[in-house]
Amino acid sequence: MPSTSSKQRARPRRASPAADWTATLSPRLAVDLVSALPEPAYLADPHGALLFANPPYRQLRAVPIGATALPSAPPSAREAASTGDTIESEVTVSIDGRSRVLVGTHAPIFDDRGAVIAVGGVFRDVTGLREATSAATGLAERLDDLTRLMAEWTFEVDSAFRFRALSARALEALGRPPRALIGKGFLEVGAFAEDATPVPSPSSRSPFRDLVYRSTDAAGVVHHSRVSGVPVFDPVSGEFRGFRGIGVDISAQVAAEMAAANAQMRLMEAIESVSEGFALYDADDRLILCNSRFREFFPEIDGLGEQRISFESALRQMRCIVDVAADEREAAVQRRLAAHRGPEHPIEERLADDRWVLVNERPTRDGGIVSVYTEISELKRRERALAAAEHVQRDAREAAESANKAESAFLANISHELRTPLNAIIGFFEIMRNELFGPLGVAHYRDYVRDIHDSGKHLLNLINDILDFSKADAGKLVLHETDVSLPAVVARCQRLMVEIAHRGGVTLTCTVPDDCPPFRADERKIKQILLNLLSNAVKFTPAGGTVTTGARTEADGSLTLSVTDTGGGMRPEDIPKALAPFVQLEDPMTRRHQGTGLGLPLTKSLVELHGGTLRIESRFGLGTTVPAHFPAARVLPVNSETGAGIPSA
């Protein structure tokens, strides 16, 4: 026979002959029984020699039915006889060109003494069973592989809605191993969402689809699945057996949706909390979102609470459009629409309550428009106030310019009108002093003539000071610059002041070094600065006092020219007054010195015209120093060979 395999199936030996029907089995009856079997069957002696084989067995061994020779018994017959046990064997044969699997059962037959007197065997064809079992096993393996590869998890519940089977994916979807859930109720492990319709139950027996199922694992983590199921009925009795279904894990999706909802909520809270009006339009230019501030700005717009009102519809209701003249309104609408759809710069709009907003609009990536409305009412009010102030200032400036022109014209005229007779008076004095037309006679006339001369000179100096200060104040003084030798200028000025100082009992001294570098300046105005300072110092220094002119080069290369006196000095609060025009520190009724109070202010203007600064350093009762500081750019470098200044280019 073809290849076989065998295994023992233990059967106890019969101790009592009456207990074994084979002990009384006649050979003829045994043959008849074997012959009647539809499966291949045989009888063999204890040594394995074949005693009888039925036709199916003969066909199996390809032995003709009428042949006297018998095929040999299978080896399992001798094994069963020798061991006294029932032996099973398996053999693969070819029948009608097809491979078949046969399972043989070989059982010993005992006599009344328990000795093996024969072996009977029968073969069953298990090919179909094996094929069905293999197919079922393969199908189960494929189904298991598919369920493992599927993103969905599968489940079966019984008629009481208890889990009967779960795929491995259930571990990820439910957070619990499937084996731990078998026997637990579907609604015990989790629950359907509140809006699930209809809610599946054993009594409903209706299919359900895409219902959200929520469960919580041992760690407290909530899982979400979308489940679908169909009822299962017994194919024969029609009895309800439960549900089969699938679930899709949507925990990540639900988490993302919740995160998006939270982000949307935070965004809305942020938009609602800002002080600006906010509006968002979609690609079709319809309003999809706005905050309460926007609604406050535009209460005249109907339909802001409705869904997706168009920008154009809202625009045509806005005050900034409604208040435009009827014949210009459409053009204004089109201009605003163009600016909205192609925003380039901010736009100002007037609100219904005469407030103003600044509109900034930007396109979004999806083709929409975001608009931000910032209130600028206060800014507009300030602009109007500033414009009004500028108008007032412009009028004042024009009035001042007109006054300056009138002043200049007046000063030009008055200088001509005053200088002409003064020059005549001074000229007549020269004639009378020199007695060109004969002696004056009485000596007192000479004293009167001298007084007339001094008064005329004083009045002329006053007029010149007023004119110079007016020019300086109007910025009309012009510098005529040359290279100035400071020691020479100081010497000339002191010579002019010697007689006046001598009459007042004041001593003039000079500490200007001979090697003081030259500097670039208007020599006439430098003399005027120095004479004004010397004149003031001599005027306010009592007899026996000293007035000193000094100069020094500073570390940064700048030059300081100063006049110091030993007079009565000034109080700190009087120093600003001394630099103010037309201010006299002495009482007008008791003052001892004549003047307009323009000496120091004019001197300060002349110093500043050179780019320098002038200040007053004074201590009451101890004297005063007035330094005039000139920038280093005006100081000329000294020639190292000659010691003279190098002329400027």
Residue 587, pLDDT above cutoff 60: no
Confidence label for 611 from pLDDT (cuts 50, 70 and 90) = very high
pLDDT given at position 431: 72
**Residue 464 confidence class, pLDDT cut points 50, 70, 90:** low
Q: What's the confidence (pLDDT) of residue 460?
A: 66
What pLDDT is stored for residue 454 in this prediction?
60
Nearest alpha carbon to residue 534 among 519, 549, 551, 524: 549
- What per-residue confidence (pLDDT) applies to 588? 41
Pairing between β-strand 546-553 and β-strand 507-510 as defined by DSSP bridges: parallel
4-131 belongs to CATH 3.30.420.40: no
Contacts of 273 by beta carbon, 8 Å cutoff, 6+ apart: none
pLDDT category at 568 given cuts 50, 70, 90 is confident
Average pLDDT, the chain: 80
Would you say residue 24 has pLDDT above 60? no
pLDDT tens track for 197-251? 777 877 888 899 999 999 999 888 999 999 999 999 998 898 999 999 989 999 8
Quote the pLDDT of residue 201: 77
| Spatial CA neighbour of 172 closest among 147, 195, 197 | 147
Are 240 and 256 in contact by the 8 Å Cβ rule? The answer is no
pTM: 0.37
Of residues 588 and 315, more confidently modeled: 315
Q: What per-residue confidence (pLDDT) applies to 13?
A: 42
Q: How far is CA 506 from CA 165, 455, 501, 533, in A?
A: 128, 23, 5, 14
pLDDT at residue number 441: 65
- Nearest Cα to 20, choosing from 108, 88, 87, 104? 108
Question: Residue 440: its pLDDT value, please?
Answer: 67
- pLDDT per position as a tens digit, 476-530: 677 889 999 999 999 999 988 888 899 999 999 999 998 899 999 999 889 989 9
Cα distances (Å, whole numbers) of residue 459 to 51, 101, 422, 548:
176, 153, 8, 28
Instruction: Please determine, for residue 583, whether its predicted confidence score (pLDDT) is greater than 60.
Output: no
Q: What tokens were used for 372?
A: 């931000």
User: Is 550:516 a contact under the CB 8 Å cutoff?
Assistant: no
Which helix H or strand E contains 95, and what residues bound it?
Answer: strand 86-95
475 pLDDT tier (thresholds 50, 70, 90): low
Provide the 3-class DSSP secondary structure of residue 15.
Answer: coil
Could you say which of 3.20.20.70, 3.90.1150.10, 3.30.565.10, 3.40.50.150 is the CATH number of the domain covering 477-634? 3.30.565.10
End-to-end CA distance of the chain: 135
Q: Tell me, what amino acid is at 242?
A: G
- With contact defined as beta carbons under 8 Å apart, do 567 and 592 qualify? no
- When comparing pLDDT for 26 and 33, which is higher? 33
pLDDT digits (tens, 9 = 90+) for 66-101: 555 677 778 888 888 888 899 998 888 887 778 888
Q: How far apart are CA 603 and CA 525, in angstroms?
A: 9
pLDDT in tens, 343-372: 888 988 888 777 888 999 999 888 999 999
Burial string for 29-68 (b: 16+ CB within 10 Å, else e) reads ebeeebeebeebbbbbbbebebbbbbebbbebbeeeeeee
Give yes or no for residue 470 having a pLDDT over 70.
no
Percentage of the chain lying above the pLDDT 90 cut: 24
Cα separation, 174 vs 225, in Å, equals 8
What would the pLDDT profile of 544-556 be if each residue is shown by its tens digit?
999 999 999 999 9
Query: How far is the C-alpha of 268 from the C-alpha of 274, rounded, in Å?
Result: 10
Q: Provide, for the chain, the percentages of residues in helix, strand and coil under a 3-state DSSP scheme, each rounded to the nearest 5.
A: 40, 25, 35
Which CATH homologous superfamily contains domain 150-256?
PAS domain (3.30.450.20)
